[in-house]
């Protein structure tokens, strides 16, 4: 007989859920649908998105992308995927070697792709940073005209109402034009890169409403994914048939396909070399399905109703499985808003951050940093999936680390290190983008060990150990070879040629040593890698143990942890990352909770909040929770700062340049799950991260304890 071992974490979860069942299950439908998003006017900051984690479509108040100019200075409208990338021609043949410079590390020269030129980034660095970039796959909007034949402007819409039904994944948009009603239903297929729409309006029959499909060239821009001014640089070929069109796109070396099918009474016509319209031949309703693919699409497309039904089943399954937190029994005035943020963040991260590759900060909404993704942010995007008992949504992207492992090994070898060094700002092939900051960061290095440990805590089997052991061990090999031995002090030192998570030390990268957060995370990850060896029946690695034993201790000045060991010690702006050494990171021998408590208080009292970022607030909350200060954890989640603002669509606003920031949403979900379900070694009481004064009567189901 085989007996399955139930560890203390699993046992605690079972007991907690048993207690909840005795109280009655959470009404998940009510919990979710009370936070359906309803908009009654156009707002350039607040479009709504439908998607499936691999593909997403962002719509304006009409349910499609009818007024892109209106949103250009707010949140741009795009159709994006994980596979849709474009690279400009490279006539100079730039390679990473053209953007490298050497830095002195313990008497040896170490090359970094910092991209430094005579003035800012070199030409090679600028090209490599911008290529490849994520594509806007196709613009789908309404072509609306007034009775006099002029184009309808966004200000001409009246009686506007748009609702995102979270339970069904359905966007319903209603408005009138000169008194004539228009209703648009928009939904994304749950497993295919396909968008389905249904339009109901007498304007279809009158010939005053059609659906426009247009294609731009790629754009090497920090933010904008579409270049509409170079039609000669790309081609669009359309083969139209009865109620169906096959479209082939070619942009330099990029190729992709679009199939469109529509209901009875529709037809397609060419408007220009890259623009088409689908219109009704006399009916008052029209259904269209658009499918996008990097390879030719074979077979007929599902119709609108099939996709709508599949989406409804998918989202019902999503909301009725995995974790749930209900704040409706809380009396604290902030509880309802926290619940709104939590529910909407679950939806947004499911459609933006759960794909086969790590997401960019702006997900699949629009480009930031040229559409590239940042591996130090992957933790904030996706760790919460494991804590909310949706581990497969994290594991989808972990195979990407396995695929780029050879390139990560090559980077480490080039720099004279063992193991694998993971990139920071990167693209599907794992290439490091030149950066005066990113290439010097190291806090993304332990992340794959953290992800693997979450997988093992969930599965608890040898298969998981064997699947991820190469990632864990190669990561640990780099982490053990990276620190420099300080003979005089008999210790290992992190740095120089290092920038901590608090990037405001960038100008000190040649001299920075021993950031507090990175020291603690280094220790935890190496110790966890040793546990993986033991679980597999292997001996502990002596080199790793030597680093663990002799790793530098964080610096304390005036009774609090500094950001780094070297001058200027602590810059009181940007991420207050020293607090993450106990909060984000579990308790390690390197951190004294009493010193950390004083550090947290110092940060909360005197920090430059306008310079912080969306994930800083959940980071502070996690530290407060581990220190037994749940009231401070709540205060951190609601800190009055511009970058802690959550818009009506649930997005974490940062600035005009970055109107959404998914690491803030993911960080919020991680912190709240931890505060509810607890962490290893937490107090033995319900919801140990929430105040026990009676104002936070939090109910939760199916959450997992944090390490």
pLDDT digits (tens, 9 = 90+) for 630-639: 999 999 999 9
H-type alpha helices, 415-515: 447-459, 462-481
Q: What is the pLDDT of residues 137-191, one digit of tens each?
A: 999 999 999 999 999 999 999 999 999 999 999 999 999 999 999 999 999 999 9
Q: Are 262 and 140 spatial neighbours (Cβ–Cβ below 8 Å)?
A: no
The secondary structure element, H or E, covering residue 212 is strand 209-214
What pLDDT, on a 0 to 100 scale, did the predictor assign at position 119? 84
H-type alpha helices, 227-362: 304-320, 335-352
Q: What is the pLDDT of residues 287-318, one digit of tens each?
A: 999 999 999 999 999 999 999 999 999 999 99
Torsion over CA: 418, 419, 424, 425 (sign): positive
Q: Are 673 and 386 spatial neighbours (Cβ–Cβ below 8 Å)?
A: no
Rounded Cα distance between 647 and 75, Å, is 12
| 3-class state of residue 210 by DSSP | strand
Q: Which two tokens stand for residue 326?
A: 């209900």
Q: At what angle do helices 542-550 and 462-481 cross, to 10 degrees?
A: 60
User: Is pLDDT at 7 greater than 90 in this prediction?
Assistant: no
User: Is pLDDT at 665 greater than 90 in this prediction?
Assistant: yes
What pLDDT, on a 0 to 100 scale, did the predictor assign at position 3? 28
What pLDDT, on a 0 to 100 scale, did the predictor assign at position 21? 36
All structural domains of the chain with their residue ranges: 42-87+136-318
3-state SS record for 128-186 = HHHCCEECCCCEEEEEEECCCCCECCHHHEEEEEEEEECCCCEEEEEEEECCEEEEEEE
Q: What is the pLDDT of residues 585-612, one digit of tens each?
A: 999 999 999 999 999 999 999 999 999 9
Predicted confidence band at 117 (pLDDT cuts at 50, 70, 90)? confident
Q: Are 58 and 366 spatial neighbours (Cβ–Cβ below 8 Å)?
A: yes
Q: Which of 312, 288, 313 is nearest to 302 (CA)?
A: 288
Half-sphere exposure of 347 (CA within 13 A, CB side): 27
Q: Are 63 and 672 spatial neighbours (Cβ–Cβ below 8 Å)?
A: no
Q: Which of 306, 269, 309 is nearest to 289 (CA)?
A: 306
Predicted confidence band at 20 (pLDDT cuts at 50, 70, 90)? very low
Q: What is the pLDDT of residues 55-66, one digit of tens each?
A: 999 999 999 999
Q: Please tell me what DSSP assigns to residue 365.
A: T
Rounded Cα distance between 389 and 536, Å, is 25
Q: Which of 80, 183, 91, 196 is nearest to 134 (CA)?
A: 80
Query: Residue 484 pairs with which residues in a beta bridge?
Result: 493
Rounded Cα distance between 130 and 410, Å, is 22
Q: What is the mean pLDDT of residues 561-566?
A: 98
Q: What is the largest CA-CA distance in the chain?
A: 86
Rounded Cα distance between 572 and 217, Å, is 43
Rounded Cα distance between 544 and 6, Å, is 29
Q: Which of 321, 409, 439 is nearest to 701 (CA)?
A: 321
Q: Are 292 and 137 spatial neighbours (Cβ–Cβ below 8 Å)?
A: yes
Rounded Cα distance between 683 and 633, Å, is 15
Can you tell me which residue has the tokens 């003035």? 119
Predicted confidence band at 24 (pLDDT cuts at 50, 70, 90)? confident
Q: What is the pLDDT of residues 445-499, one digit of tens each?
A: 999 999 999 999 999 999 999 999 999 999 999 999 999 999 999 999 999 999 9
Rounded Cα distance between 350 and 356, Å, is 12
Rounded Cα distance between 478 and 433, Å, is 20
Rounded Cα distance between 280 and 285, Å, is 8
Query: What is the chain's mean pLDDT, rounded?
Result: 95
First to last CA, the chain: 31
Rounded Cα distance between 511 and 508, Å, is 6
What pLDDT, on a 0 to 100 scale, did the predictor assign at position 192? 98
Q: Are 286 and 303 spatial neighbours (Cβ–Cβ below 8 Å)?
A: no
Can you tell me which residue has the tokens 């405001």? 504
Q: What is the pLDDT of residues 209-259, one digit of tens each?
A: 999 999 999 999 989 999 999 999 999 999 999 999 999 999 999 999 999
Rounded Cα distance between 646 and 643, Å, is 8
Rounded Cα distance between 527 and 480, Å, is 11
Can you tell me which residue has the tokens 């497309």? 301
Residue 401: C-alpha distances to residues 248, 383, 417, 428, 470 (Å) = 31, 15, 19, 10, 10
User: Is pLDDT at 35 greater than 60 in this prediction?
Assistant: yes
Q: Which two tokens stand for residue 314?
A: 């998918």
Rounded Cα distance between 15 and 11, Å, is 6
Cα-flanking dihedrals φ and ψ of residue 675, to 5°?
A: -65, -30
Q: What is the mean pLDDT of residues 364-378?
A: 98
Rounded Cα distance between 326 and 24, Å, is 12
The secondary structure element, H or E, covering residue 240 is strand 235-241
3-state SS record for 62-94 = CCCCCCHHHHHCCCCCCEEECCCEECCCCCCCC
268 burial via Cβ count (<10 Å: 0-12, 13-18, 19+)? buried
Which range, of 20-29, 49-58, 207-216, 430-439, averages the lowest pLDDT?
20-29
Backbone torsion region of residue 583, taken as left when φ is above 0, otherwise alpha when ψ lies between -120 and 50, otherwise beta = left
User: Is pLDDT at 22 greater than 80 in this prediction?
Assistant: no
Q: What is the mean pLDDT of residues 553-560?
A: 98
Q: How many CB atoms lie within 10 A of CB 333?
A: 9
| 3-class state of residue 12 by DSSP | helix
Q: Are 292 and 193 spatial neighbours (Cβ–Cβ below 8 Å)?
A: yes
Query: Residue 288 pairs with which residues in a beta bridge?
Result: 197, 262
The alpha-carbon radius of gyration of the chain (Å, integer) is 26
Q: Which two tokens stand for residue 496?
A: 């120089």
Predicted confidence band at 23 (pLDDT cuts at 50, 70, 90)? low
Cα-flanking dihedrals φ and ψ of residue 668, to 5°?
A: -60, -45
Cα-flanking dihedrals φ and ψ of residue 415, to 5°?
A: -90, 0
Rounded Cα distance between 181 and 633, Å, is 48
> Domain 42-87+136-318: which CATH class?
mainly beta
Q: Are 386 and 398 spatial neighbours (Cβ–Cβ below 8 Å)?
A: no
What pLDDT, on a 0 to 100 scale, did the predictor assign at position 312? 98
Q: What is the pLDDT of residues 564-582, one digit of tens each?
A: 999 999 999 999 999 999 9
Cα-flanking dihedrals φ and ψ of residue 620, to 5°?
A: -65, -40
């Amino acid at each position: 007989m085989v007996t399955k071992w139930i560890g203390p974490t699993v046992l605690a979860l079972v007991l907690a859920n048993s207690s909840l069942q005795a109280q009655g299950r959470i009404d998940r439908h009510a919990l979710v649908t009370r936070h359906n998003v309803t908009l009654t006017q156009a707002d350039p900051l607040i479009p709504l998105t439908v998607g499936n984690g691999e593909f997403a479509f962002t719509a304006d108040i009409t349910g499609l992308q009818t007024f892109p100019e209106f949103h250009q200075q707010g949140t741009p409208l795009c159709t994006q995927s994980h596979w849709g990338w474009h690279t400009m021609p490279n006539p100079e043949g730039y390679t990473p070697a053209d953007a490298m410079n050497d830095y002195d590390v313990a008497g040896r020269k170490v090359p970094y792709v910092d991209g430094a030129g005579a003035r800012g980034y070199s030409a090679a660095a600028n090209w490599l940073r911008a290529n490849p970039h994520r594509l806007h796959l196709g613009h789908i909007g309404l072509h609306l005209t007034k009775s006099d034949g002029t184009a309808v402007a966004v200000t001409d819409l009246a009686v506007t109402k748009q609702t995102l039904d979270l339970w069904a994944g359905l966007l319903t948009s209603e408005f009138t034009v000169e008194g004539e009603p228009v209703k648009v239903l928009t939904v994304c297929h749950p497993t295919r890169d396909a968008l389905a729409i249904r339009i109901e309006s007498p304007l279809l029959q009158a010939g005053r409403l059609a659906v426009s499909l247009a294609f731009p060239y790629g754009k090497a821009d920090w933010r904008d994914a579409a270049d509409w001014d170079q039609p000669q640089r790309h081609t669009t070929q359309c083969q139209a048939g009865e109620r169906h069109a096959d479209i082939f796109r070619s942009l330099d070396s990029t190729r992709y396909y679009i199939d469109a099918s529509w209901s009875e009474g529709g037809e397609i016509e060419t408007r220009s070399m890259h623009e088409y319209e689908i219109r009704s031949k006399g009916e008052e309703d029209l259904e269209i399905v658009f499918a996008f693919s990097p390879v030719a699409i074979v077979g007929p497309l599902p119709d609108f109703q099939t996709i709508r039904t599949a989406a409804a089943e998918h989202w019902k399954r999503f909301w009725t499985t995995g974790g749930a937190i209900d704040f409706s029994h809380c009396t604290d005035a902030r509880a309802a808003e926290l619940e709104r943020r939590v529910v909407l963040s679950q939806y947004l991260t499911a459609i933006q951050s759960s794909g086969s590759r790590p997401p960019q900060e702006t997900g699949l909404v629009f480009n930031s940093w040229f559409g590239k993704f940042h591996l130090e942010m992957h933790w904030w995007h996706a760790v919460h999936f494991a804590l909310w008992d949706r581990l497969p949504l994290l594991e989808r992207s972990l195979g990407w680390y396995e695929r780029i492992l050879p390139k990560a090994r090559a980077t480490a070898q080039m720099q004279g290190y063992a193991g694998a060094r993971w990139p920071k700002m990167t693209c599907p092939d794992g290439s490091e983008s030149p950066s005066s900051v990113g290439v010097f960061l190291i806090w993304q290095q332990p992340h794959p060990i953290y992800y693997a440990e979450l997988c093992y805590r969930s599965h608890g089997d040898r298969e998981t150990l064997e699947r991820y052991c190469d990632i864990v061990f190669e990561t640990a090999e780099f982490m053990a070879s990276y620190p420099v031995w300080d003979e005089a002090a008999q210790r290992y030192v992190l740095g120089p040629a290092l920038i901590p998570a608090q990037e405001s030390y960038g100008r000190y990268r040649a001299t920075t040593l021993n950031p507090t957060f990175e020291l603690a995370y280094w220790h935890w990850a190496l110790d966890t890698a040793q546990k993986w060896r033991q679980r597999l029946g292997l001996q502990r690695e002596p080199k790793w143990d030597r680093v663990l034993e002799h790793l530098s201790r964080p610096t304390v000045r005036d009774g609090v942890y500094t950001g780094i060991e070297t001058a200027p010690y602590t810059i009181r702006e940007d991420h207050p990352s020293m607090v993450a050494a106990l909060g984000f990171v579990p308790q390690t021998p390197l951190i004294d909770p009493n010193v950390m408590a004083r550090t947290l208080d110092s940060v909360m009292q005197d920090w430059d909040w306008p310079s912080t970022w969306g994930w800083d607030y959940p980071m502070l909350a996690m530290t407060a929770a581990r220190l037994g200060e749940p009231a401070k954890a709540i205060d951190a989640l609601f800190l009055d700062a511009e970058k802690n603002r959550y818009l009506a669509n649930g997005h974490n606003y940062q600035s005009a340049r970055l109107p959404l920031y998914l690491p803030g949403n993911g960080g919020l979900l991680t912190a709240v799950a931890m505060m509810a379900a607890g962490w290893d070694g937490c107090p033995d009481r319900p919801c140990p991260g929430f105040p026990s004064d009676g104002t936070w009567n939090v109910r939760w189901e199916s959450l997992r304890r944090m390490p």
